[in-house]
Structure 1
Amino acid sequence: MKTLFNYALLFLLFACFHITVQAADIYVAPTGSDTNPGTKDKPMATVAMALRKAREMRRLKDPAVENGIHIIVGDGVYTFSEPLFIRPEDSGTPGSPTIIEAAPGARPVFSGGMSVKGWRKASGKMPGLPAAAQGKVWVADAPVEAGRLLDFRQLYINDQKATRARDRNADSMNRILSWNHQTEQCWIPAPKTPGWDKVAGLEMVIHQWWAIAILRIKSVTVKGDSALLGFHQPESRIQSEHPWPAPWISQKTGNSAFFLTNAIQFLDEPGEWYLDVKQQQIVYWPRNNEDLRSVQVTVPYLQNIARVEGTIDNPVAHVFFKGIDFKYTTWLRPSQAGHVPLQAGMYLLDAYKLKIPGTPDKRGLENQGWIGRQPAAVELQYVRNTGFERCNFSHMAATGLDYIRGTQYDTIIGCTFRDIGGTAIQAGVFSDPAFETHLPYDPADARELCRKLTISNCFITNCANEDWGCVGISAGYVQGINIEHNELSDLPYSGICVGWGWTKTINAMRNNRVHANLVHHYAKHMYDVGGLYTLSAQPGSVISENYVHTILKAPYAHDPNHFFYMYLDEGSAYITLKDNYCEEEKFMKNSNGPGNTWDNNGPKVADSIKNRAGLEDAYKAIKNIK
């Protein structure tokens, strides 16, 4: 009887032990120290060192990690000096994931920005500054890193983006007079502001159908009320040689619109700023509610805040982010090499029109292009079973979150994207710099692809506000992507875009799903748009039960009637479109391939379908997050 009692006691103790086994918790707080053990009472100071501790626990097979590792991040701002890098050695397992998460009730910020302090009201007359701004601007020493002036293209005052000084304010733009493709020069109406033509670093932003270009101005010749502009290389040649989208000349719809930027002579209203490289200072005219002695002023410093990167044979797996705010990234290529995109922000590295048309995939093709990809605040490649849940992305100069290649079974759920300069969420290979962008992509090793990614219940607004040709969600050569129950609004161009390549040829894309999304208030600046947009053959793909409404009236559209709720562009094939609600049956089917099925799309779709689109009830509150 005693033996039986002892066995029962041992069993009870063993059961209790297993019930109380918990995942390893590593705490991080701004007031912590990386020499601390990472307990709740003695937290570490940086996520990078907490991640190293977790890595060592796994390497040494610490039994505490049996049910996973939680890196619990306390409230506050964590300013990164380099991107957080997550390697294959940081991988978890299905039963023991690595989770980087906010502490209960906390909103930790992972920042790629840098504070600017020491603001003072400018004294005396400032050379070049318009009369309206004299005596009203404040200045601060520009950040210097390792003896070099920090370059940046964005400035944030209390999390509100300021406007880089430009010659036309608000949504006002001028029109080019002509473009000479042989000399690579452009005539414009000359601004009336004195001295603008002598400024170093001047830029031109030009509107071209479905994309903008950012061109660094090399020379200005003023003749009467007009000015002849020349541009730096490489963008000068690419801008004048590539056929689409190109500068537009039309008496009927107006020439391409443009504005000039980055000159102190244009700083003529509150909310505008200028980086004076010679004086190494920032000049800013505060808005009425801003006191530069007390506000938080931030400039972006890093291009990437986090990178999750494995190899094709050793991917990063079972790593998740929960409740993290990612803020402030920069992107300097426009300042260093200009920016001439082909579409969706993919910038041209080389492009020209073939004198004799024809490529291996398309007999009549005359457009050749090789592209690069904008950086993202968070980039992932060669990963599987990773995810982001209720994270927030804001104040990005380029892309927000990008699953680049070699990914599978990943999730983006309940996240918000606000004030993103480029595309909010991007996924899949588009074209590598060595691969001509109109050729069908179908790698021999399918592990190169982005497969089985779910993007669900995300709120995307005020994105692509720097590069107007970018979109809300952009997917390239993807397989089995599931984009469902997201809400997208306040976009300058299109909403959800899936596909790349402009080809009817069967390629890597297939079995993609775009379901029950709400897309509205788009086409704010560009036309030739679609709330839902596809390219190329995608067998087995379905676009269903989405709600698309309110196309905005872009004031400088080259063809103001060329807007659509659903847009199947070149090569789109083998796609089913069913039960999608929109205000009218305004659809584009441009050079489509075979096998597309249209079934019950337009204003007659049942209200029940319209009402189910967008964020589900459990996620509707994320719209209120600021």
Structure 2
Amino acid sequence: MIKKALTGLALVAFLFSNVAAKDYYLSPNAKAGNGTIEQPFASLNEVQIAIRSDISTGLKEDINVYLRGGSYRLSETFVLGLNDTHMDGYTVSFKAYKDEEPVITSGVAIKNWTKLKQLPTHAASKAQGNLWVADLPEGLGAFKALFDGDKRLTRAKSEPWIPAEPSKSIEQSDSRNVHHNKDRYALRMVPDVNGIMREWENISDVECIFNPVPWNLMSIQLESVDTENKMGWLAFEANAQVGTKNPHHAPAFVYLENAIDFLDEPGEWCVNTVEKKIYYWPENGQPSTTIEAPALMELVRVEGKIRYDLASDIPAKNFHFEGLTFTKADRTVWYKNHKGWGIQHDWDTFDYGNALLRFRGAENCSVNACRFTNSGGSAVRLDLHAQNISISNNYIDYVGHMGVLLAGYGPGTKYVNKNNTIHNNIIHHCGELVWHGHGIFLWQSGDNKITNNWIHDVPRKAIGVAGVRCQILMKPWSDFDEASRTIRWNEIEATADSTLDAQQRYFPYLHARNNLIKDNKATRTMLKLSDGSSINISGAGAGNIVDHNLLYDLLYTGFRTDDWQDETITRNNIVWNCGGNAYIFKGHNQLYNNIAVNVKKAVHMRAYPQQSFIPGAVIRNNIFMSNVEGFEIYKPAGWPKNMNLQKPGKKKMPYEYIVENNVYYAEGANEFLATQKAEGIEQGTVVADPLFYNVEKGDFRLKKKSPALKSGFKPFDVSFDSFGVDKSYPDKFRKLDNEVLKTKSSAFHPIH
């Protein structure tokens, strides 16, 4: 009996030893302290010294760092590395203390404003009597964002102008880059159509903002101006010439930012690094006391040892962040020799520190119940080597670029960005400054789970997955096209099967594969740029599954498998109220058991001209119901000419697809279906009311006599609560989001 009691006590002692933790406390208002709750440390750097000391002595306890409420101001990026990595089985956690709100920021206060009595040279006359000026704080350069409390202020900008199309004598690549080295000069030319440019004394502060293509926004500083020939020259090459491709629903434009010439509206500002001055026209008559400029682009980084040319890295491990707020960092900038390092369409930059929180060479980490807000750049990045990292239950709002970015190594055999989880987050108003910023973007990252996220009011995609498109891999001589310099050619040349066509040869090196995108909800996407979709898979690897997602109230497209994309499954999804295509369908993929209601077009089918055509793609057991005027079921386009399938006597596409057992209910569907069936297409498909319970209220349950059930449609959970964040999501963030949703005009925004 005594022996059993001792055994029990030993077990209790063992269990207690595994939950015991070393606790430290921080307070931004502290003075000299020892890290206790009574005498907390004042900075992250102080607690880092203590953590390193504990780890060096072999501490076998978790380490918790509790941050008290208030602002922790960083002048340098706080880096957690191998020296801060606890032994396996133990963690280092940074947590909010109880219900307090610690804020990590790089905001620098702008003080001592003076009202200008005389306008600066070249200032707009309407600004007379309204401008204030302050000295640029020491260490700050030409920052791209300025904040007043929880609001980002507007940088002075010119009126936009419509660019002329570039010379047709310059050959373009498929990416819309110039094709030849000799033409690269054209990537720096900005025709000054309205003659507003001048030889500014601080010309490197002045940026040109333009959308050369409908899927991208460029922000690049000027280097010089040729006033005689009305031409501006960019400091760095753009990804395409100004005015390269006519846009879809987004008008092409060019404008300039950050010059005193354009500071002509209340709420605007500009900075002049030559004068070391900040100019501002306050909306309320005088500047507030809460104006801050960001000192950093990257606030916190978890970083192991990246061994770029070796097969393995040494990751930092076991770091966790909970309940913290990250805010006020600067937005991304282009730099010398940027060309070739931009990931797909230059939507972001390879291995680049432009996020509030970044993991670079890290494993077994988590970010839970944190807020990322009011910032010029991205919220979270997982770069190069990133595995088993969980980004869950967070609130991301009003950030300038990406919400969450996962970006692995370029095409090759090194595949170490994988097995991460992006779950149960709310993301809205990302891409505020860089309009092609996605809610969630995966580039060369695979085997991840992207689940239960709620994404709304974004300028571009909710979720994107991409690798490097084959047309880039097919021209190894180029090192200036998108992502070309990320390609690990030595690994590819040593292992590629040269007997295969390009698409199959390079497929194994595209690591954005086997991702699960499930139970997400999105609305009001693609609000600024076009030629994309809410959920988009493009030039990625095989095995991606897009399952049970709800997209509604869309201006543009719902789902898309885009160029050079094969072996993707899109199933059990709903698209409701869409001004464009429910689905854009390219490549050898499967689209089945989906619902599309009140869309402009059911399926837009296309084949990419250079891409190998593989027969047997599947469009089966879908329900398409629409009362939208001019509704089309599908209209094939762009089939490869060498297929020779549309000559007289040949059956029309999509003859070589498996298109069957669908249900259509729309005006003109009977005539369309009869034509298709005569060609041997759409066998088993019917035109009939699918018998939803209540279309107007979004109740897409099927009644027992639904013809879709007879055609083979498999019912799935269509309730709004089955999509987006679940009941475990933090109430404080849910309330914040409800306040945003109340301001939107959509009748279909569900309030939590």
Moved more, 332-341 or 115-124: 332-341
Gaps of 5+ in 2: 171-182, 306-311, 471-502, 598-622, 624-691, 693-699, 702-716, 738-752
3-state SS in 1 of match to 2:45: helix
Q: Unpaired segments of 5 or more residues in structure 1?
A: 241-245, 349-370, 432-440, 553-562
Superposed CA offset, 1:219-246 (max 9, x none): 44557xxx7223134326x644xxxxx6
Aligned to 1:366: none
Equivalent in 424, 428, 438 of residue 461 of structure 1: 428
The verdict on how the C-alpha distance between 1:335 and 1:285 changes in structure 2, with shifts beyond 3 A counting, is farther
The offset of 1:339, in angstroms, is: 9.0
Which residue of structure 2 lines up, in the alignment, with residue 609 of structure 1? 718
Deviation per residue, 1:313-363 (Å, 9 max, x gap):
532221100011111212463487899967464468xxxxxxxxxxxxxxx
Name the structure with the higher strand share: 1
C-alpha separation between the residues in 1 aligned to 2:314 and 2:130? 57
**Any residues of structure 2 matched to 1:430-579 within 5 Å, and which?**
431=410, 441-443=411-413, 445-446=414-415, 449-503=416-470, 504-505=503-504, 506-507=507-508, 508-552=511-555, 563-579=556-572
Give me the whole-angstrom Cα distance separating, in 2, the residues matched to 1:196 and 1:569: 42
- Relative to structure 1, the CA distance from residue 339 to residue 574 in structure 2 (aligned partners, 3 Å threshold; closer, same or farther) is closer
Q: Distance in 1 between matches of 2:270 and 2:589?
A: 53
Q: What is the 5 A alignment of 1:315-354?
A: 315-331=315-331, 333-334=333-334, 343=344, 345-346=346-347
The residue type paired with residue 22 of structure 2 is A
**DSSP-derived class of the 1:52 partner:** helix
Aligned residue in 2 for 1:381: 360
Q: 1:13 to 1:550 in 2, by over 3 A?
A: closer
**1:116–1:299 CA contact under 8 A, matched in 2:** yes
Q: Which amino acid aligns with 1:573?
A: D
Separation in structure 1 between the aligned mates of residue 266 and residue 417 of structure 2, nearest angstrom: 45
2:465, 2:419 → 1: CA distance?
14
- Looking at structure 2, the residues matched to 576 and 399 of structure 1 have their Cα atoms a distance apart, in angstroms, of 29
- Tell me how far 1:89 sits from its aligned partner: 3.0
Aligned residue number for residue 729 of structure 2: 619
Aligned to 2:383: 404
Name the structure 2 match of 1:159.
150
**How far apart, CA to CA, are the structure 2 residues paired with 1:587 and 1:346?**
24
Aligned: 1:264 with 2:253: no
Aligned residues: 554
The equivalences for 1:246-395 within 5 A come to 247-248=243-244, 256-288=252-284, 291-292=286-287, 294-311=288-305, 312-331=312-331, 333-334=333-334, 343=344, 345-346=346-347, 373=352, 375-395=354-374
Which letter maps to 2:27?
A
User: Greater CA radius of gyration, 1 or 2?
Assistant: 2
2:695 match: none
CA distance 1:574–1:610, change in 2 (3 Å): farther
Match status 1:204 vs 2:313 = no
**2:408 paired residue number:** 429
Structure 2: distance between partners of 1:8 and 1:511: 51
Which residue number corresponds to residue 37 of structure 1?
A: 34
Whole-angstrom distance in 2 between the partners of 1:110 and 1:408:
25
Q: Alpha carbons of 1:495 and 1:374: their partners in 2 closer, same or farther (altered >3 Å)?
A: farther
Distance 1:50 1:77 in 2: 16
| Partner Cα distance (1:105, 1:164) in 2 | 35
Give the aligned partner of residue 231 of structure 2. Answer: 229
CA contact (8 A) 1:216 1:338 kept: no
Distance 1:412 1:372 in 2: 19
RMSD (Å) for aligned C-alpha atoms: 3.2
8 Å contact from structure 2 (residues 27, 68) kept in 1: yes
Write out per-residue CA displacement over residues 274-332 of structure 1, whole angstroms, 9 at most, x where no aligned residue. 112333211111123x752x431111111211111113453222110001111121246
Counterpart Cα distance in 1 of 2:97 and 2:162: 52
- How far apart, in 1, do the equivalents of 2:453 and 2:151 lie? 25
In structure 2, relative to structure 1, the CA distance for the partners of 1:614 and 1:381 (3 Å cut) is same
Deviation at 1:401, TM superposition (A): 0.7
Q: Distance in 1 between matches of 2:27 and 2:247?
A: 61
- Report the CA distance shift for 1:200/1:280 in structure 2 as closer, same or farther (over 3 A): closer
- Partner residue, 2:85: 91
Contact 2:419 2:448 in 1 (8 A): yes
Q: Which has the higher contact order (CA 8 A, sep 6+)?
A: 1
Distance 2:198 2:2 in 1: 93
Task: Call closer, same or farther: CA 1:291–1:406 in 2, change over 3 Å.
Answer: same
DSSP 3-state at the match of 1:45: coil
Structure 1 residue identity aligned to 2:23: D
CA distance in 1, matches of 2:325, 2:249: 43
Q: Is the aligned partner of 1:582 residue 2:572?
A: no
Deviation at 1:372, TM superposition (A): 6.7
Q: Alpha carbons of 1:516 and 1:620: their partners in 2 closer, same or farther (altered >3 Å)?
A: farther
Structure 1: how far apart are the matches of 2:230 and 2:249?
23
Q: CA deviation at 1:41?
A: 0.4
The CA deviation at 1:11 is 7.6
Q: Deviations over 1:105-161 (max 9, x none)?
A: 11111112211111222223332221221111221111122xxx5331111111211
Aligned to 2:163: 176
Cα pair 2:419 2:446 within 8 Å, conserved: yes
Q: In 2, are the aligned partners of 1:165 and 1:261 still within 8 Å (CA)?
A: yes
Within 1, Cα distance between the matches of 2:302 and 2:368?
Answer: 16
Is the 8 Å Cα contact of residues 249 and 530 (structure 2) preserved in structure 1?
no
Q: What amino acid maps onto 1:466 in structure 2?
A: L
Identity %: 21
